[in-house]
Structures are given as C-alpha cells and as structure tokens.
C-alpha cells in the first residue's frame, strides 16, 4: 500500500487513475479545488464513494499548503492539462521541500517522451521544463508515455478531431485523409488501459527514473491497418462493402498547413498529426525506457482491433437514426 496524491483526479483520465489505484490497494488522496468540488460534485462524490480522500487545494495554493499536503504522501501523480502543465513546477518545488516523495509522475500523457520538445513546442515546451525541474531537484520520477488516446486517434482512423465519432462507411462520399503513405505505424491505447498501467506503476521501483512506454504489441498500427480493420468489420457485420475512399496528404502539404495554421489548437493538432502519421513513434526503446505490457503481463489490455468493435455498435445506432 502506497500513500499517493493525485492532482487532476476530476478529469477524464485522472478520475480513472484514482479509482484504479484504489482497486490496487493504495491510499489515495485527490487534491481538488473548491471550485471543482462545486462544479464537479458528481465526480467528486464518485471518488469519495470508492474511498478516495479529498483534500482542498490546487496548484495555485500557497507553497506552504502544498508542502504540508505532500508531507503526508509518498507518490505524486499529476494529470493536469492546459495551463496546469507549466504550473507543475510549483508542485515540484513543494515536493523538494517536503522531502517525502519517492516517486513523482508529471502530466506527460501523450507522445512527448517519444518525440521530444522540438516536435510540438506549443504543447511540449512546458512538459520539458517540468522534467528539468524534477531532475534538478533530484526527485525520483516516472514519465508515462501513453501515446495516442484511442478515442481521438482510432475513431478517425489516424485523423485527429474525431473524438466521440465513428469512421465513415465505404458507402459514403467522405474521404479519409491518409498522411504521407499512410503506412507509418502509430501507437494508440484505450484510455482505461493507460489508467490501469499508470496505477500499476505507482510504487514500482522498476519504473523509477524511467520512461514507462504504454506500447503493447497489438496497438501499433498504420492508417492503412486501421482502414482495413474497419472495412472488414463493416463488410462482415453490416454487409456494407467495398473500400474507404482514401485522400493522400503529402508531407509537403501537411507542412504548409502547419505553417499557415493560426490558432494554437489547430497548429498543435497538425503538428501532432505529423509526429504520428508521418514521422512515426515506434523507435526502439533505450536503456531508460520500460514497456508497460511487459512489466505487467497479468493485465490484459484492449487491442485496437477489439476497441473498434465497439465503434461498430455506435455505427449501427447512427445508421438506424438515418433510416
């Protein structure tokens, strides 16, 4: 049993990590602001119901208050996003003074650890600063490299911006953009699996001062791989035949889109698109890297092909609504 503080437990992924950590027998405390305790009351009540202790506070709390909270725990798991990513340096400073933290997992969820700061500076610059602060403070750490969230990547067959949708049918005129050749492998994971592996790494000395890559062998697929899987499922289960209409986007065109993108969100999405579907993220692991499915073979993750079965059910509902 490990005493762990989770920052960002009212968010989508943080909530799952907190509940999974409780299942594994850890003593979990969630740092939750007064505003979130009001605005997200149902989520907070759900955390309390499974045994998570709620501590009022946030990354904007006074330094002394953060130190006092951290003195009561051994592990910190941060799952903040947006401006909260840069503010994690406050948590690092408090952890250094508290002197009790045996493992700090900053909010790295995504592809940063596989590609580095230069790939998407708008998003990854703050994460790099938090890493530097942790290492300079000498705090034991684990960087979780979760790669793509299935609900963002698989739902669009590798195209971002398709969360909570399903891929198009071969019977429609919708074209699926394929970046580069469409054959570059990208890694995607179901969010529940990312949470489960993260919770299992809590207190695991094998992950200390390592990058924990959530890179199960069945979850590295190209856009072509995903398209073939989807076409097969659509044909076999719904008798909708033929192939999806592919629209290939050369790397030069994608670079032009990135250069002309104005708002930070659009630019970041396009840069991530390039990282995943043109450059690829399946390089060999190094001496400071460990892979989650190898460390925890007792946990049965969801292959992306199986995840796409769930999309078929959603697709059926959409078809019925259109009739």
Cβ neighbours of 295 (radius 10 Å): 18
Concerning whether 127 is annotated as a catalytic residue, the answer is yes
**Residue carrying structure tokens 């509940």:** 19
- The alpha-helical segments, DSSP class H, found in the chain are 12-23, 34-39, 41-49, 63-70, 84-98, 112-115, 121-137, 150-153, 191-201, 223-238, 251-260, 264-274, 292-295, 304-322
* Environment class of 288 (CB within 10 Å of its CB; exposed 0-12, middle 13-18, buried 19+): exposed
The DSSP bridge pattern shows strands 175-179 and 245-249 to be: parallel
Would you mind telling me the total number of residues written for the chain in this entry? 323
Answer whether 208's CB lies under 8 Å from 141's CB: yes
- At residue 122, φ and ψ (nearest 5 deg) are -60, -35
**Residue carrying structure tokens 């002197």:** 99
State the catalytic residue, choosing from 19, 40, 96, 127: 127
**Residue carrying structure tokens 């969230």:** 149
If we measure between CA atoms, which residue out of 49, 47, 23, 25 comes closest to residue 36?
47
Answer whether 206's CB lies under 8 Å from 290's CB: yes
If we measure between CA atoms, which residue out of 221, 218, 214 comes closest to residue 291?
214
Residues classed as catalytic: 127
């Amino acid at each position: 049993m490990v005493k762990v503080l989770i920052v960002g437990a009212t968010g989508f992924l943080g909530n799952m990590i907190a509940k999974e950590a409780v299942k594994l027998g850890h003593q979990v405390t969630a740092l939750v602001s007064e505003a979130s305790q009001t605005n997200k009351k149902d989520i907070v009540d759900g955390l309390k119901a499974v045994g998570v202790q709620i501590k009022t506070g946030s990354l904007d709390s006074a330094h002394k208050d953060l130190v006092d909270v951290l003195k009561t725990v051994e592990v910190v798991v941060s799952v903040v996003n947006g401006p909260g990513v840069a503010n994690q340096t406050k948590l690092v400073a408090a952890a250094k003074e508290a002197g009790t933290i045996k493992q700090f997992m900053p909010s790295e969820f995504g592809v940063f650890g596989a590609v580095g700061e230069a790939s998407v500076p708008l998003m990854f610059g703050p994460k790099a600063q938090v890493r530097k602060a942790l290492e300079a403070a000498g705090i034991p750490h684990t960087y979780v490299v979760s790669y793509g969230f299935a609900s963002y990547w698989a739902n669009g067959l590798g195209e971002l911006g398709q969360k909570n949708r399903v891929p198009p049918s071969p019977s429609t005129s919708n074209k699926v953009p394929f970046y580069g050749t469409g054959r570059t492998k990208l890694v995607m994971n179901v969010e529940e699996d990312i949470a489960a592996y993260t919770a299992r790494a809590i207190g695991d000395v094998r992950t200390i001062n390592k990058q924990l890559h959530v890179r199960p062998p069945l979850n590295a697929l190209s856009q072509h791989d995903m398209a073939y899987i989807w076409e097969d499922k659509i044909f076999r289960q719904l008798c909708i035949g033929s192939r999806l209409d592919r629209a290939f986007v050369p790397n030069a065109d994608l670079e032009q889109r990135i250069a002309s993108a104005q708002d930070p969100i659009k630019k970041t999405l396009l840069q991530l698109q390039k990282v995943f579907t043109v450059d690829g993220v399946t390089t060999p692991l190094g001496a400071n890297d460990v892979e989650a499915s190898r460390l925890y073979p007792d946990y049965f993750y969801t292959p992306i092909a199986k995840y796409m079965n769930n999309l078929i059910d959603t697709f059926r509902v959409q078809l019925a609504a259109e009739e």
